Chain A
């Protein structure tokens, strides 16, 4: 069978397979073991199916900017004019794969730690997967909002039902923050529809670029902000980040992994695709203060991470810092900065996802995230310590690891945009080495201070099978970034070109820094 015949349906298949799996689980009897295996099977099949996307991407890769691969455009509702319009480009391609890649590990990580209401847990997890993939593939603003809101409920329930002590508070805070922010996006989407009669992203982009939709006065700014608030809360950008540490600390491991790995990327993806895609001129005009917030986030997140007594909170704040880098890269409006931002989204998904998985494993053994409870763990758990180190190095951006490529590109983009951005942001790299290595030192080195830790078992086969692929991938992404970069670069160039045309500002010379790695 020629696999390329699948092309028109492959995205739909990838998206709704997990939902179908969730539906089937609902009818399975409550035998926890079977449900776990079934959920694992579904998530692995979804991963395999989704690998079709990068495998055949070259054949169907869009020629110019503003067009998409694996497109499907079906009629959904006649009036209002809503389409089931999906498709991916080089950016969303990898975010979809990142999502399908992380979910099987989440299933594995929840194998033992979730032992009550197992059925509900896996139903929610798989529904969440469908919604997350949907966000990255939707090209109709209504459809996008549909999936965007749909991620909210499963995640809030995962935190609220399966989380730790203050889970209810964290779940409600998470829900309200994101819900209230995204209704403003809804208002902006409806406004655009009211003016144009379409929800289609490419059509709207065209109409806005040619000025067919009249934007009197400050309308463009308000619309930009409507979208921006929804995305900035999700990212989370500096003053709107307070829900994140709570959500992370209280969420079960799988929840944290998907929250950090995928949900935060929905925010940065939205900034890139919709904020810049629809309102390039406004984005450019507002870049200075957004970059300022991003840089504050980088430094502030790192400093707060430094003083956390709780490991999970430390990693949560490190996410604020890392995502600050991503936003900085996006709003630098340079090829290398944006390339780096997209690559860093993937890196962060892998490395922070892996960190949460690592923390989850030690939590399963000791039921605490307090750093002072540990110390000298390298002696009883050598394999664990090794893997933790690899991931730590990936997270702090050691050369040859994936984090390095992303941060380097972002910083070079930032320097091109304005030297001062680069200088301050670069300090974030140092801070991140500081807090991560200090965490590592306090947890793994030295003598065992707490006698309970002396007899902790090292990680077992299941846990190794979770961590090794992630660690190896972090290394491969650091050594052969071009495998990912080729498609990312083309799509970013398309976005940038459109932005340049619209902004018609004095464009700094675009140096494709990524050629360094070619």
Chain B
């Protein structure tokens, strides 16, 4: 029988599910044509409530396994809950005026974000491969639908379909891997698997195949090379706030799963896989981004590159404390700055997302100085310039890598981050050093959007200037992970 503590360990998920279904229900009752903005505000409160639930759940007495060892609440899961929930909140806020503007004002949108967040939260706390799979499916399915939400636009449909087809393949790979891993170890519990693989004198070849398949599935979700091909097309077509959401929240959740698996199932088998994926992602991402003329495609490649930097942190997970906390910190910083950047892109998009070429940003510094300054800040953070979270995150990742003697990986990473500065800079140059193309109007920033930008801005600045508290928290995570 589940105890009360068990329910508290899934309290954020319960809150989100109930809230999401309520949104669906109200949506059905509302007459068509009526503004759904109020519903969006209601959904935003749902995200806030889930954040509160996570904070409640983070108390020491609830740390531990729940629901028959299927999930585990610890520093680690709480941290990723916060990332996912803040991203969901910011996404809902920035969509409040975007949806009516694009004439796709449907309440399901908010429900899908909340329900997707359920899956992502669950991914970060689940320690049972079957539960992880279910969580992955919940998060993926809502993302597929959200990607196609601008259903009148062909590219949005293309985005959704591509994401769905390739995503289903990836999930199938993952599931196949889970099955094989069960065959090899006789368990689907991450901790049991770790114990079996750790103690076995001889490891079944089947386990290697399983690991490779699972990595393929998760590699797709985090968009690391060589499983990245879908990213630019999907990001280009999907609605901008959805891209803000799905380039950060599901990614963070998938990384959380990866961390659990890497750390808790005999990590040496993973090392070279991760090393190669890291190098490939950084190089493919940065080189690909240089060639783009569309801002969303550019940031899609940039997100591949950032997945690569995160992989560098994994590769250094032989030093648990450093590797894991670097990966966690990076996930948070990346979520903050990328959501911020996409918030500005959403604001700029124009009806039918007409204005998403780099050229459309010409002279933004003159047309709306504040918006340009904010976007510049996020881009500088993506480059990794001081006082931003991106700088500290990158610094922390590379220092973790050097601590574990990954000299070549560091050099490749550092060189990549120098190279990567070029394409972000190109956008900054466009905004400030080119004359505005006067016909492009910039709409006024509404309250919801302002809040979304403010949340990301404060988070990015906070992570860059006063990272101490967060670092302390992430550094506490591995010790808890280890004690099983």
Contact = CB atoms under 8 A, between A and B. Distances in A.
A176 interface: yes
Main secondary structure of the interface of A (DSSP, over half): helix
A193 interface: yes
Interface stretch (A3-11, A50-58, A144-152, A492-500): A144-152
A17 to B, nearest CB: 17
B410 A187 contact: yes
B468 A179 contact: no
Given A79-B475, A160-B433, A179-B421, A153 B385 contact: yes
11 contacts: A77-B468, A78-B468, A142-B395, A157-B428, A160-B432, A172-B429, A179-B418, A179-B421, A183-B414, A187-B402, A187-B410
Interface string A52-78: 000000000000000000000000111
A77 B393 CA distance: 13
Nearest to A159: B433
A190 B410 contact: yes
Contact of B411 (A145, A187, A193, A194): A187
Contacts of B425: 172, 175-176
A149 B395 CA distance: 13
Contact of B414 (A119, A171, A184, A194): A184
Given A171-B429, A183-B415, A187-B398, A176 B422 contact: yes
Nearest to A180: B418
Contacts of A468: none
Nearest to B398: A190
Interface in B419-434: 419, 421-422, 425, 428-429, 432-434
Contact of B429 (A80, A168, A186): A168
A77 B418 contact: no
B380 A153 contact: yes
A186 B417 CA distance: 11
Nearest to A193: B399
B386 A147 contact: yes
Nearest to B407: A191
A161 interface: yes
A120 B410 contact: no
A215 to B, nearest CB: 14
Interface in A77-123: 77-80, 117, 119-120
A150 B391 CA distance: 11
B471 interface: yes
A167 interface: yes
A142 B386 CA distance: 10
Contacts of B24: none
Contacts of B417: 183
Nearest to A187: B414
Nearest to B421: A179
Contacts of B403: 194
B475 to A, nearest CB: 6
B386 A160 contact: no
Given A146-B386, A160-B433, 14 more contacts: A77-B468, A117-B365, A145-B386, A149-B391, A153-B385, A172-B425, A180-B419, A180-B421, A186-B398, A186-B414, A187-B411, A191-B407, A193-B402, A194-B402
Contacts of A168: 429, 433-434
A157 B432 CA distance: 8
Contacts of B369: 117, 119-120
Leading 5 A-B pairs by shortest Cβ distance: A180-B418, A194-B402, A146-B386, A160-B433, A183-B418
Nearest to A145: B386
B39 to A, nearest CB: 36
Interface string B465-484: 00110011001000000000
A319 B235 CA distance: 48
Contact of B387 (A150, A160, A176): A150
Interface of B: 365-366, 369, 380, 385-387, 391, 395-396, 398-399, 402-403, 407, 410-411, 414-415, 417-419, 421-422, 425, 428-429, 432-434, 467-468, 471-472, 475
Contacts of B471: 77-80
Contact of B402 (A160, A179, A191): A191
Contact of B385 (A149, A167, A194): A149
Nearest to A80: B399
A31 to B, nearest CB: 15
Given A120-B365, A160-B429, A149 B386 contact: yes
Interface in A159-183: 160-161, 167-168, 171-172, 175-176, 179-180, 183
Interface size class, chain A: 35 or more
Contacts of B386: 145-147, 149-150
Of B386, B398, B415, B428, most buried by chain A (CB within 10 Å of CB) is B386
Contacts of A77: 467-468, 471
A146 B433 contact: no
Nearest to B467: A77
B410 A161 contact: no
Contact of B433 (A147, A167, A183, A190): A167
A215 B421 CA distance: 31
In this complex, the member of A79, A117, A152, A184 whose beta carbon has the largest number of chain B beta carbons within 10 angstroms is: A79
Nearest to A161: B432
A79 B478 CA distance: 14
A80 B319 CA distance: 14
Given A77-B468, A160-B429, A168-B433, A186 B385 contact: no
A79 B396 CA distance: 10
Nearest to A116: B366
Contacts of B411: 187
A186 B384 CA distance: 12
A149 B391 CA distance: 10
A276 B399 CA distance: 24
Contacts of A117: 365-366, 369
Contact of A150 (B385, B399, B429): B385
Interface in A108-141: 117, 119-120
Contacts of A193: 399, 402
Contacts of A194: 399, 402-403
B93 to A, nearest CB: 24
A503 B60 CA distance: 56
A176 B426 CA distance: 11
Contacts of B399: 80, 190, 193-194
A405 B285 CA distance: 53
A400 B467 CA distance: 52
A164 to B, nearest CB: 12
Nearest to A147: B386
A191 B400 CA distance: 10
Contacts of B414: 183-184, 186-187
Contact of A175 (B366, B421, B472): B421
A179 B415 CA distance: 10
A417 B66 CA distance: 74
Contacts of A171: 429, 433
Nearest to B387: A150
A172 B434 CA distance: 13
A115 to B, nearest CB: 14
A447 B299 CA distance: 60
Given A172-B425, A186-B395, A190-B395, A161 B468 contact: no
Contacts of B385: 149-150, 152-153
Contacts of B428: 157
Contacts of B395: 142, 186, 190
B331 to A, nearest CB: 18
Nearest to A142: B395
A103 to B, nearest CB: 20
A194 B380 CA distance: 26
Contacts of A120: 365, 369
B403 to A, nearest CB: 5
A146 B366 CA distance: 29
Contacts of A180: 418-419, 421
Nearest to A146: B386
A119 B366 CA distance: 12
A24 to B, nearest CB: 16
Contacts of A153: 380, 385
